[in-house]
Chain A
Amino acid sequence: MLKLIARRILVAIPTLIILSMIIFGLQRMLPGDPIQTMMAEESDPQVIAFLREKYRLDDPVPVQYLAWVGNVLQGDFGRSLRTGLPVAEMILQKLPITVQLATMAMIMAMLIGIPAGILAAVRKNTVLDYIANAVALSGMSIPNFWLGIILIMVLAVSWKLLPASGYVPITQDFWLSVRTMLMPAFVLSTAVAAYLMRHTRSAMLGVLSSDYIRTARAKGLLSKTVILKHALGNALMPIVTLSTLLFGDLLAGAVLTEQIFVIPGFGKLIVDAVFTRDYAVVQGVVLFTAIGFIAMNILADVLYIVVNPRLRHPQ
């Protein structure tokens, strides 16, 4: 197991190097200049020249890249051009927020999606199946933006049940933190829940029609045992992969939800940084996200082995 993890980490290194080069290059290809953008109304040529030199923006791109890599290897991610705050600090401030949001969304999605998928498969072609499918389709197609605003209007403005927006650190006030995160996590979970439901349903359908399930039923086992123990165990495989990948998506892709609920997370950080051409921040966030994705993939591999004993003894 450890060997497998070590191998996967080694393989990940070139991926990270190539990715960082692409990000670095792509950013520099964008039209627009970070200093000009930042200056807006005040544009003092002397200050512009000083800042260009300070942030080495006039050096050739490969030189800039090597300088950045050198700093990163020493643990220095640089400072934001716009706010002057250290990038590493910004990321560490936002990482727990997005992880909390993504985790809560994932838990909700699993609690909704997997049972709904099982139910839809077991009761295939019944009203229940159709309802589950219709709900899943709406989950995928209702825009987060709209759903978020509606929820705020109903739950926060009209009924005043939940805080409308913001973020409270979980260490500061656990309940308030969870309450504040409920609406955004739900909004974020809808699409994931829908995917999970669809995939669980088809995986379950495949498994339920296989021979060993028929055998299990023939043995006279309880229907509950057959479905939850025999069938679900095997059907879980693809769902585990999907979940870990979707979790990676949640970490990076919560931009709109963060925007609506004013959550100072990763998504908003990178979008703002791209718009203001805050190069150091974009690079730092992309690097962290990539590492997150790779970690998720490794986790998926490990979970495979946990849920599927056959993989523990490869031939």
Chain B
Amino acid sequence: MLKKLAMGATLCGLLGSTAVSAADLTVALQDDPDILDPHRGNTFVGRMVFGPMCDALFDIDTSLNIVPRLAAEWAWSEGDTVLTITLREDALFHDGTPVNAEAVEANLDRAMTLPESNRKAELASITSVEVVGEYQVAITLEAPDAAFLANLTDRAGMMVSPATFETTGEGGLVCAGPYKFVERIQNDRIVMEKFADHWDADNYHFDTVTYRPIPDTTVRLANLQSGDLDIIERPAPSDMATIENDPNVVFELVTGLGFYGVNFNMGNGDRSQSPINQDARLRDALNLTIDRNVLNEVLGMGTYLPAYQPFSTASWAYNPEFDGGERDVERARELMAEAGHETVSFEILYANNSAMQQLFELVQAMAAEAGFNITLRPTEFAAYVDEREAGNFEVSQFGASGRIDPDGNFHRYLACGSAGNVGHYCNDELTDLLNQARVVNDIEERKALYDQAQRIAAEDLPALYFYYTPRTWAYSANLEGFVPYADGVLRLAGLKPKQ
């Protein structure tokens, strides 16, 4: 009898239901972030984790306008080369020290000079940073830099407590956000707790926030449905029906800033000599064979908004003039004939995952109708990166997570000599326009420059765009106040459990 009782108790202990406290929020990420240091970090998921922990000088609103965060006010002077920032006086780092002008100067200095800093390019236009008052700092730029404020909304503008510079990333992170770092178990969780002394603490309704890396989409969703998670990022398009049929889960989608497509090897080694890379008419023909709507319906279940240009519909630089172009296989054949080819063979290099595999199988099939004979070369990610850099490709997967400022979607990938320009495409006129667009602050003027640049790119076709990366979320119906942003980063202000 006793034995039975003991077994019963054991079973109860084992099977009792999990009670989750309402004041804890658990969010699943697609990957485990890299180093937790905003100046050194590289990954998108890293940006997600920095979000609640590290306030930046500026932030964006849902329409991508730049709004103040740690900065209270700002003003441009000296022909847009001096940015004077007045800081909020009530912002504190998690170690209790104030976020003052000296801290900002020390952070910008670290971001620009730390050998491992990946923020140098974003802050390259700075010539000096000067402490003007206790809470006022003047940043002098070499020349006007239109993307500068946008860069300060992200990692380059995040403030780390200068007292902890030495230890940042090696286990700890002391910033000035609404949540402070508690612990990180690699591949398992990153835990943060509410920072009670944050200036906007009343707007944050969870005591702890835990980020868990769960790479498999099915597993992520199952955990959300079981109640172990509150929010998941990037649910698979194929799971949308499941999510919509589950009354306990809410699906959310905004068009992101990034894109997927292909880029051509225009001058990186011998493989740039392939016909498709030598003749823009052939690239145009390829472009005409791709039906973006099919990609959207078949692969994205309606979430892969068709793309024809580097700027997504969320960006002010987006111009509908460059969209469209119905699929036209006849015209594609004509163009190929003009170029003197009945069939054209080439290889597409891409990172081996199911999304890219499906995409390029469809591309292969659609292009085949006009006479393109495409070989697919899926490659493990690290090797893929290596092959791209080395120029060992004819046509390659092309994708960007997208930046708030259009410069990060265009210049970075297609200007002569840019770091992301693996195809070594170089058109001086286009590069010149993109460089000009960097130093003009007026949005209309910049847009005109980007339009001109887009016209050149549409003729040269160094890259094709297929779809904009959707920013998708699924979250528990027990939450309210969830607001998605086009940059895909979660912002927790106002998010709370339903009463």
Which of B37, B187, B228 has the most chain A CB within a 10 Å cutoff?
B187
Stretch at the interface among B115-123, B138-146, B315-323, B463-471: B115-123
Closest chain-B Cβ to A266's Cβ sits at a distance in Å of 10
Across the interface, B228 reaches (CB within 8 A) one of A39, A164, A263, namely A164
Residues A163 and B118 in contact in the complex (CB < 8 Å), given A41-B42, A149-B219? no
A47 B385 Cβ-Cβ under 8 A? no
Q: Out of B13, B216, B228, which one reaches A163, CB within 8 Å?
A: B228
Range class of the B interface residue count: 35 or more
Interface string of B19-44 (1 = CB under 8 A from A): 00000000000001111110010110
Contacts of A37-95 to chain B: CB distance below 8 A = 37-47, 50-51, 54, 79-80, 82-86, 90, 93-94
A207 within 8 Å of B (CB atoms):
no
Is the beta-carbon distance between A43 and B222 smaller than 8 angstroms?
Answer: no
- In the assembled complex, the CB of B387 is this many whole angstroms from the nearest CB of chain A, namely 8
- Chain A hits for B14, CB < 8 A: 162, 175, 178-179, 182
Q: Does A291 contact B (CB under 8 A)?
A: no
Shortest distance from the beta carbon of B453 to any chain A beta carbon, whole Å:
21
Nearest residue, chain B, Cβ from A265: B187
Q: How far is the CB of B151 from chain A (nearest CB, A)?
A: 12
Q: B401 to chain A: which residues have CB within 8 Å?
A: 41
Q: Which residues of A contact B215 (CB under 8 A)?
A: 259
Q: B188 contacts the other chain (Cβ, under 8 Å)?
A: yes
Interface size bracket, A side: 35 or more
- Asked if B214 and A272 sit within 8 Å, CB to CB, the answer is no
Report B416-441 CB contacts with A as 1/0, cut-off 8 Å: 00011000000000000000000000
Whether B170 pairs with A85 at a CB distance below 8 angstroms is yes
Is A269's beta carbon under 8 Å from chain B? yes
Whole-angstrom distance between the Cβ of B230 and the nearest chain A Cβ:
13
Q: B267 to chain A: closest CB distance in Å? A: 18
A30 at the interface (CB under 8 A from B): yes
State whether B188 touches A264 (Cβ < 8 A): yes
CB of B354 to closest CB in A, whole Å: 14
B227 touches A260 (CB 8 A): no
Q: Which of B55-63, B301-309, B376-384, B481-489 contacts A (4 or more CB under 8 A)?
A: B376-384
Q: List B residues 326-381 near A (Cβ within 8 Å).
A: 380-381
A33 to B213 alpha-carbon distance, docked (Å): 24
Q: Could you tell me if B228 and A43 are in contact, using CB atoms closer than 8 angstroms? A: no
Which residue in B13, B117, B380, B420 is a CB contact (below 8 Å) of A275? B380
Q: Is B218 an interface position by the 8 A CB rule?
A: yes
Instruction: For residue A68, give the distance in angstroms from its CB to the closest CB of chain B.
Output: 20
> B118 to chain A: which residues have CB within 8 Å?
39, 42, 44, 47
Kindly provide the distance from the CB of B25 to the nearest chain A CB, expressed in whole angstroms: 15
Measured CB to CB, the closest approach of chain A to B39, in angstroms, equals: 11
Q: Which of chain A's residues have a CB closer than 8 A to the CB of B385?
A: 32-33, 36-37, 40
Our pick among A34, A47, A80, A272 for the contact of B120 (Cβ within 8 Å) is: A47
Whether A157 lies near B380 (C-beta < 8 A) is: no
State how many angstroms separate the Cβ of B41 from the closest Cβ of chain A. 9
Name the one of B121, B219, B382 contacting A262, with C-beta atoms under 8 angstroms.
B219
Residues of B within 8 A of A182 (CB): 14
Contact digits for A252-268, partner B, Cβ 8 Å, 1 yes 0 no: 00000001111110001
Q: Find out whether the CB atom of A264 lies under 8 angstroms from the CB atom of B18.
A: no
Cα distance A134–B116 when bound, in Å? Answer: 58
Residues of B within 8 A of A163 (CB): 18, 226, 228
Contact of B382 among A44, A260, A276 (CB under 8 A): A276
Q: How far is the CA of A86 from the CA of B215 in the complex (A)?
A: 23
A252 to chain B, nearest CB (A): 16
Q: Which of B170, B216, B226, B384 contacts A259 (CB 8 A)?
A: B216
Q: How far is the CA of A38 from the CA of B116 in the complex (A)?
A: 12
From A37, A43, A261, A262, residue with most partner B Cβ within 10 Å: A262
Asked if B313 is an interface residue, CB under 8 A from chain A, the answer is no
| A22-39 Cβ-contact flags toward B at 8 Å (1 or 0) | 000000001111101111
A32 touches B389 (CB 8 A): no
Whether B499 sits at the interface, judged by CB under 8 Å, is: no
Contacts of B222 in A (CB 8 A): 149, 152-153, 156-157, 164-165
A-B contact pairs, 11 of them (CB 8 A): A31-B386, A37-B385, A84-B169, A85-B186, A94-B187, A149-B222, A166-B228, A167-B188, A179-B13, A182-B14, A275-B381
Q: A37-B381, A84-B36, A262-B188 are in contact. List 15 more A-B contacts (CB 8 A).
A: A32-B380, A32-B385, A44-B419, A83-B186, A86-B170, A94-B186, A94-B187, A163-B18, A165-B219, A175-B13, A179-B14, A259-B216, A260-B216, A269-B186, A269-B187
Chain B residues within 8 Å of A, Cβ to Cβ = 13-15, 17-18, 32-37, 40, 42-43, 115-118, 120-121, 169-171, 184-189, 212-216, 218-219, 222-223, 225-228, 380-387, 389, 400-401, 419-420
